[in-house]
Amino acid sequence: MAAFNHVKNMYDVSLKPRLLRTLIKEDLPDETHPFRNPAGLSTVVSMIKTHGLLSESSFGESTNQRQIENWKSAVDSWVERLDLLVSHAMPDKCWAGICLLGVTCQECSSDRFLASYDGWFHKLLPFIQSPADSHFVKVASCASLSDMFTRLGGFPSQKKDGTSHVVKLIQPVLKLLNYDSSEAIWEGAVQLICTAITYFPSSIHRHYESASHYDSMEAAIASKLLSGKCSADMLKKLAHCLALLPKSRGDEDSWSLMMQKILLLINAHLNDTFQGLEEDVAETTRNEAGRLLVPPGKDPPPPLGGHTSPGEVSDNPTRRSERLLISSVSTLMLCCCTMLTSPYPVQVNVPIQSLLVLVKRVLMVDGSLPHALLPFMTSMQQELICSELPVLHSYSLELLSAVIKGTRSQLLPHAASIVRLITSYFKRCALPELRIKVYSITRILLISMGVGVAIYLAQEVINNAFVDLHQVSGCTTSSVNSKASSEALLQPSHRKRKHVTTTGYLEEQHDRGGLQVEAPKNHSISPISVRVAALEALEALFTVGGALRSESWRSNVDLLLINTATSSLEGKWASEEKHSFQPNEPTSIWVDFQLAALRALLASLLSSVHVRPPYLAQGLELFRRGKQETGTKLAEFCAHALLALEVLIHPRALPLMGSCPATCNSFEGVNHKLSENMYSGSLKHSGPFASGIQGIKDNIPNSDDDDLYDSWLENGKETDALDSVPCKSMRYDEDPSEAVGVSGEENLYVDNSSGATIPEKRGQKLAASGVDGMKGNNDEIMVEAGRFEENVARVEEPVSSKDATAPASIEGSWAQG
């Protein structure tokens, strides 16, 4: 009847021991059954992690003791089978047991791990110490021990015991690095060293100080790193391990000494590699780098890993140059990046100037030869260096990015040097990968250092963005700088709008000395990844400096962004310019480009503070179209953008908390005559203010937001005179005080009220004068409305108590809108 002993569901505790016993029986080998399918271990591991078969921790209140004992018994059987496999003479079965023992260290309960890890450690240690074991058994042993110490590092009470265990591993692991020839074993040994440094740093500290440089950890890692025999992936792991090594001491001097050793070795390699390629300016930079790394009067530190010169790496100068570029300089720069961006126990002083000089030295070399040195270098040598320079430039830019990320406040005195370096390199950088990195560095610098840097980087960012995006948006030099392009928003042809004159002012400032934007006609189409990076840099520029000194470039960049966003959503390239997709770019990057274009457009719209964004209507339409792509990242962002733009669509003057009077919770406190005069006249307008007042008057929470949107798209009509106040026909350039007729009652002059006069006794004429004083311009209504409320507050005391309730009620009802 056991065949019909069903469980409740997949969460039943009694299911877990059944599944575990099935795995032991069907998927694990034993003494008699061979190991049929090594690839099947992945299925076993997946089953254990998915159902938590070794956790022994899913007991609820309804779990009886019999189920607990049954699960414990199943885990005991699992551990016994692994002990049998680890001790087996067959390498394949031993390998399987070691691999599953590492998984068991991760997945078993805390009580079982603390009771068993010591025995497991002594089972695995001989496989690392013995040189006779197979390579894949050693690799599996290193991986399982790394899993064990990672789990053990989470128990503070076991730090002392864990340190004593790690000490026993140091010498065997160093032997694997120094004397073994398998890169897989090197990788396992380096991973084990990194785990030991991270969780038990004091275990490395003893050997770090006492051992000779050949047997020490630094010498072993540096020798392998500089050997030129490792793959690119292995070099990254060695660089990461070398960067973690100062943590074993945890003091500032150890970190500074390691950084100085690495920078000195980089500089020595560059001296050998760039011989004959550096001009006079670069020669000065080289001398400056040596002077900064070893100040006059001080002795240089001992060489990294005992290597006194780059020549010890190889005897062939040509091959040595190649290895220096790939396996030495680039890897050592990556090591510096890790040291700058990884957490350290104490605060350290970063040699920022030395780092910047080395970065500048590399970026200034482009492979060209001075005329006087042409006879001293063969074309083959030049070709070899030019073929590797992009990689070296890439790592130099990574180092510059790490300096910006890791130094924080220490970077401020060096900001000008970084800005000059980025500006000069942007002009010479043409490879897509390098341009992406420069855009990324610019974005990080803008966000971290704010508007002070944005003022000086704005021109370079905009010029390069136009180069990379001009074929996307369809903008050319003539269209960008033309007045017609600046007035792309649909406007009434027979009306003078305030933002038209504002655009003219921007163009005038641009002609007087603003940013000169040029998009070369013959520039090749940039890859989509470069366009995404350019848009992200523009987004950061708008976020940081879009509201300060942006008049000279604002109109051109706004036009570029609205055209780019429109093209990205319309799929214009996919249908008309299929050649714009690069063969090595996945089509999924198109979504990234759409998001980047819309993010930059949103930053542009939100950062416009002096005038209404000229392309707000088109932007709203794009975001509404994007929101319809249900279930995509595009729709998610467009919904967020529409919410963020709500303050521009329906601006409102909300009161401060606690400042609203008691009558502001309803419209009942509003003076009937005042509201009648104010609303009856203003609702006849077709502008956005009218729709907003209508929503406030009716107090309808879900009023139609499209009225405002439609009013911006339509051609519009001439503004009619307000019915509540008799006045003559008013020109837009006419002073409001001359057009508005005021009764013969005594008037009060209000400062900063644009010439508006306020009757002392009549609330009706007070509202009429305030509304008509807005110069008949829908764009100025928002600003004038705020002034009107301020003026009301100033004259509240002189007005009689009978009529004084009207202005206060207006402010409260406005807040409710």
**pLDDT tens string 767-777:** 344 434 444 44
The more confident residue out of 333 and 473 is: 333
- Euclidean distance between CA atoms 638 and 626, whole angstroms: 6
Residue type, 676: E
> What pLDDT, on the 0 to 100 scale, is given for residue 795?
41
Is residue 577 scored above 50 in pLDDT? no
Query: Is the pLDDT reported for residue 721 higher than 70?
Result: no
CA–CA dist 621, 607 (Å, integer)? 19
Confirm if 555 and 506 have CB atoms less than 8 A apart.
yes
Indicate if the pLDDT at residue 234 is higher than 70: yes
**pLDDT reading at 54 higher than 80:** yes
Q: How confident is the model at residue 151 (pLDDT cuts 50, 70, 90)?
A: very high
Please give the mean pLDDT across all residues of the chain.
74
The three-state secondary structure class of 747 is strand
On the question of pLDDT at 258 being above 80, the answer is yes
Tens-place pLDDT, residues 457-469: 999 999 999 999 9
CA count, 13 A, side-chain hemisphere, 247: 22
Query: What tens digit of pLDDT does each residue of 288-312 get?
Result: 877 888 887 788 898 998 754 444 4
- Contact by Cβ (8 Å): 579, 525: yes
pLDDT at residue number 326: 67
Residue 499, pLDDT score: 40
The residue with greater pLDDT, 159 or 130, is 159
Q: What is the pLDDT of residue 417?
A: 94
Asked which of 48-62, 322-336, 494-508, 778-792 is least confident by mean pLDDT, the reply is 494-508
Residue type, 26: E
How far is residue 242's CA from residue 219's CA, in Å, rounded to a whole number?
10
- Classify residue 720 by its DSSP letter: P
Q: So what's the pLDDT on residue 186?
A: 94
Asked which of 109-113, 585-589, 590-594, 782-786 is least confident by mean pLDDT, the reply is: 782-786
The pLDDT confidence band at residue 660, using thresholds 50, 70 and 90, is low
Q: For the chain, what percent of residues have pLDDT higher than 70? A: 65
**Predicted confidence (pLDDT) at residue 785 exceeds the cutoff of 50:** no
| Alpha helix stretches (DSSP H) within 159-245 | 159-179, 183-199, 201-210, 217-225, 232-244
For CA atoms 436, 441, 443, 444, give the dihedral sign.
positive
Residues 6+ apart with CB under 8 A from 450: 544
Neighbours of 310 (CB within 10 A): 21
Say how far apart CA 438 and CA 432 lie, in whole Å. 10
Nearest partner of 556 among 617, 645, 484, judged by Cα: 484
Q: Check pLDDT > 90 for residue 217.
A: no
DSSP assignment of 348-361 equals ----HHHHHHHHHH
Band (37; pLDDT cuts 50, 70, 90): confident
Span of 89-93, 488-492, 519-523, 769-773 with lowest mean pLDDT: 488-492
Distance CA 96, CA 35 (A): 9
Question: Would you say residue 501 has pLDDT above 90?
Answer: no
- Closest by Cα among 686, 474, 648 to 572: 474
594-647 pLDDT, tens digit per residue, is 999 999 999 999 988 778 889 999 999 999 999 998 888 999 999 999 999 998
Answer yes or no: is pLDDT of 743 > 60. Answer: no
Most confident of 148-152, 386-390, 649-653: 148-152
Q: Does residue 7 carry a pLDDT above 60?
A: yes
What lies within 8 Å, CB to CB, of 384 at 6+ separation is 318, 321, 322
Per-residue pLDDT tens over the stretch 432-491: 999 999 999 999 999 999 888 998 999 999 999 999 997 655 554 434 443 333 333 233
Which pair of tokens denotes residue 7?
């469980």
Pick from 400-409, 566-575, 793-802 the range whose average pLDDT is largest: 400-409
* Amino acid 587: pLDDT: 65
pLDDT band at residue 5 under the 50/70/90 scheme:
confident
749, β-bridge pairs: 757
Q: Which of 6-20, 544-558, 773-787 has the highest mean pLDDT?
A: 6-20
